[in-house]
Structures are given as C-alpha cells and as structure tokens.
Amino acid sequence: MIFQYQYRGFSRVGSTPRSTAMTFVPDGGRPPMAFNGLLRDKLPFREAICAMHRVVTGDLRWKPKEREDYKAWAATQEEVWLAEFMERAGEIKGQVSAVREELDTLRSRKWEVMTPFRDAKQRYFQHIYKWERIWWIVLDPVITVHPDQVFFECFSQDESSYARLSCTHDVFEKVGDFTCGTTNIDYSAPLYDEFRKIRDYKETALAIDPGGFEVKTGDDPALREEKIDVPDSWVRGFLQVSSAMTLDGIEVDLDPMDFHAICFHLKRKKERHGPRSLRFRLNPGQPPVIIVDPWGTEIVCRRSFHHAKENTEIRLWGRRRLLVLEAMIPLARRVKVRLLGYGMPSFWQVDMGALNFTLGLSGWTANDWSRAGQFDLMAPRTAVSTEAVEMVLGALNRSWFSSASSLAAQLSMPPADVLGALVAGTQAGLVVKDPGDDLWRARALSREPLPLDRLRFSNEREAKARELFQRGSVKVEVEERIGERQIAGIVDDGKTRYPVEAVIDADERLVRAKCSCNFFQQNRLRLGPCEHVLAARMAKARYHFSAK
C-alpha cells in the first residue's frame, strides 16, 4: 500500500539557553490544521515523546546471526584441514607450515585492504539511520488536534506495539489559535536528539507549522514528495489496535512503585529458557500478585488494586517491551492496565495528570497485531446500513469527539446501531476510541480512503466464514438472556457438521465460544475465533436484523 506525503521543509527544534521551540512540518496533502502552545509540563512531555521514538523504531523480531565471516573462514580452512588429514611425512608437514604462514599473511593483507570498505559501510548505515528515516521507520507518526487535546500515535516496525501520547490543553501554559484535524508529521532521528535537550527551566513551545499547507505554483525547492510502500499487514495491524480498544477487559490499577518492581526484576536477570511471561494472579478482595517467569518470583502489589470479580490468572508474553515506560515512572501518578485475556493483548496507560501515555501490546512479541490478533472479528458487528454509518460519522466529525450515548440521543438512533457504526469507522481508520473512556474521536489514518476490500479479510478464516454463511451452511438459534445472547447452532462445511456455541454480550462483543474443530481446540480465542464461530455470528446478525 502506497502512502504519499508532501512536506514543505523539515521538522525542527530550535534551542537557546533560555527557550526551546519545536516546530512540526505537516503533510501538505491533508486538510489544513494548525496548533501553537507553550508547554507547562515539560519533563513529562520529554520522556513521553522519547518513549514514542523507542516504540516507532522498535523491532524485537528474532534476527538470525550473520555467519558470512565464519563461512568464508571455513571455506579457506578446508584445504588446510584436508592437508592435515593427509599429511604423512615431514616434507608435507613443512609444506603445510609454509602454506599456513602464507595464508596468515594473505588474511592480514585482506583485512587491511577491506578495512576502509567496512568503515565506509558502517558510516553509510549510520547516515541512513540518521537522515533517511523512511528506510527505518514504516510510517511517520500521526498527530491529531481536537478542541480538548492533542494526541500523537505511532506503530512499531515489528507490528507488535502501539503508542499514543495524549496531551490535554492543561499541559500548556498558553494555547494560541488552532485548527482541528489530523496529519502525519515529518520525523527523523535528529529530531529525537533535540527532544532529549528539553529542560524544565527553559520556555518550550510546540507548534504545527500552518505554512506546510500553503499553495505555491511552479517549482518549490522546499517541497518534498515522498512515497512509502507500507505492507498491508502494518496498516491492518494499526486498524486492529483501534478495534482492540473497543473491547472490555479486567482493569488493574498499579502504583508506579509496583510497576517499577516489574522493570527491576526484568533488568536484574536475563532468562535463558522459557516461559518468558508475566502472570497476573487476581483474587477478589486481595492485592494483585504478579509472577515473573521462569523464576516464579512473586511481586505482591499492596499499593495497587484490581476489578476482577472472580479468581483469575492471566499470562502475558513479550514483557520486555514494557521497559519503554520505565523513564516515566518518577513522573507517573498511576499505571492503569487493561488485560483482555490469557495470551491476548494488553493496554498500559501511564497517568501523568494532564498527559497520558498509552502502550498497546500484542499477546507476545512475535504475535503481531495484524496476523494473529484478529480483534475486529470480536468487535461489535451490529448490522447497520451505510446511511446510518454516514450519519454517525458525520455527527462525530462535526463535534470531533463524543460518547456513543450522546450520539444516540443527538441522532435519535438505537445505541446498538450507533456503536456498530462507530466500530465500522474504527475498522476503516476513521475513528479511534479513548483508552479507558467512552469517548470516540474522529481521526483519519490516511488522507485517502483505505482499500478496505483488500484489508477486509485479514485471514482465511474470515473469508471461509463468509462463504459458509452465504451458501446457507449455518443454522443457529438465539436465546436472549439478561445482558447477553446465547448462540447455538450447527455449521456444515460439506465434510463435517460442527456444533457451535457463542455468547454475545449487550455491547455485541464475543465473550465466550465453543467449537469442536481442530483450530479452536488448539487455540481457543487466543488467535481469534474459528471460521465456524464467525459464520454462526454472521447468521446471528442476520437473525437479529430480521427480528428488528
């Protein structure tokens, strides 16, 4: 998928002994927007914006070791080893010694000759890391200005971490004229180096340069047009995060010192074998207990609390990604965690008053959002007409943010239909939900509509479910209960008849399921529902829509 940018100049940070001025250059191809403010909370902003840099450049995927040097050395040694094996007399030994000396001399000369090349190669990679950021960063961060806050969003290279920095207007001593909207901002490694220079005693200004939207004719030497080929999986992963934010989970409210204890244990020891996980043991009326595997170290968080209503143990992997938040611990009031389930994603929100940093993590590092976290499949899917979706999104765009209940009252629509329209907007990259709140915000991920037909089926299971549903291979019965619906039915794929059960809560979320197929027996809901559960849910949506 090609993303095109038009930048007039470069983002920059000007620093003097008394002041710092941060100016972000926006994408000139988007609708005009602007912002100008004088920061009050400088240190929290510095640590949070630097944490975003660590996320956007983060890539924790396993990389095989480069063994080219060893292979080259082994190839040169084969003749020597063969000679050693065949040598039988003193003459041969003497010849072998002479050959060894000659080879050592040649290797030394080769090393000397190749040293300038290796140094130049290293300087080249350092240069592109510093200046050619598009080779290292998949997509420039997204910044959105709303009447009540400014927030930044980014996604990691390995597609396993999402970061959002939300700054209410209380973060600023003074806010000038601003224009609401969303844009990508020009970002580079030198900009990060300047962020580190922000100090509490310096007056610090943040601005989005409105000059980036000026229309000029003829050749403009300051205008840069960039095209970035972004993998479909990266874009799909960003959309999956928006869908995952709409799901309910178990809330854990950690004291910053309890979170520091987690980071302390992760940095103190290096695991040599699995499981490399964190286990949350949550019992009602007791403080949360976090177990660090594989050592079984228990951290009793006596200053923290949770909202679990029954005894629960939830395990998370990819825990070292949490170290991104470590620098914000001295500035944090609380660290709020939302756990979606065993081996499923989690959201970690660092509360710094008027400034909040949210880190969304997939179930484990290799389990990226796009390929294994099919959370749009478990989001509300109430059957909603195109006209209703346009009405809801139009009302949201006019107010920029609103709750689902307010939109339902304003448009005189059923709350379930409004919620379904909002979730459809998140899947299209047009809406994002505030973590922990019932606030939905207008935010266009790209300046051009995303190709949803290409992104619609992110895996074979959803495509197969649609096929089973369309050919009438699904028979279900829906039982209405207090606060939920019980779905029971049979799905016939032409070879086997699978009994299926699923539970949909009052917000149209899939909360429990059961199927006899091999995929579900192995993975449960950790990799998303199987095609038979999906097909039953589609049949349930038609049943409910017909009843209405």
CA distances from 304 to 233, 252, 299, 325 (A): 37, 8, 11, 18
Residue 213: pLDDT band with limits 50, 70, 90: very low
Question: What single string gives the DSSP state of each residue in 207-250?
Answer: EE-GGGG----S--TTEEEEEEE--HHHHHHHHHHHHHTTS--E
What is the mean pLDDT of the segment spanning 148-161?
Answer: 86
Say yes or no to pLDDT of 78 above 80: no
Phi, psi (deg, nearest 5) at residue 369:
-60, -35
Distance of CA 76 to the CA centre of its chain: 46
Q: What is the pLDDT of residues 277-312, one digit of tens each?
A: 899 999 999 999 999 988 999 999 999 999 999 999
* 3-state class (DSSP) for residue 164: strand
Say yes or no to pLDDT of 135 above 60: no
Whether residue 264 contacts residue 326, with contact meaning beta carbons closer than 8 Å, is answered with: no
Rounded percentage of the chain residues whose pLDDT exceeds 70: 80
Q: What is the pLDDT of residues 382-400, one digit of tens each?
A: 678 888 889 999 999 999 9
Taking the C-alpha atoms of residue 84 and residue 107, their distance in angstroms, rounded to an integer, is 19
Nearest C-alpha neighbor of 363 from the set 160, 536, 500 = 160
Q: What do you get for the CA distance between the two ends of the chain, in Å?
A: 39
Residue 499: pLDDT band with limits 50, 70, 90: very high
Residue 214: pLDDT band with limits 50, 70, 90: very low
- What pLDDT, on a 0 to 100 scale, did the predictor assign at position 134? 44
Nearest C-alpha neighbor of 489 from the set 431, 541, 428 = 541
Provide the Cα torsion 75, 77, 79, 84; round to 10°: -150
Question: What single string gives the DSSP state of each residue in 375-393?
Answer: TTSSS------HHHHHHHH
The token pair at 241 is 């995060």
The H-assigned helical ranges of 344-385 are: 369-372
User: Which strands, in side-by-side order, build the sheet including 346-351?
Assistant: 181-184, 142-145, 149-155, 161-168, 355-361, 346-351, 334-339, 250-254, 305-306
Taking the C-alpha atoms of residue 489 and residue 465, their distance in angstroms, rounded to an integer, is 14
Nearest-10 crossing angle of helices 386-399, 404-411: 110
* 3-state class (DSSP) for residue 204: strand
- What pLDDT, on a 0 to 100 scale, did the predictor assign at position 225? 60
| Better pLDDT: 136 or 89 | 89
The token pair at 413 is 């629509």
Residue type, 129: Y
- Taking the CB of residue 162, how many other CB atoms lie within 10 A of it? 25
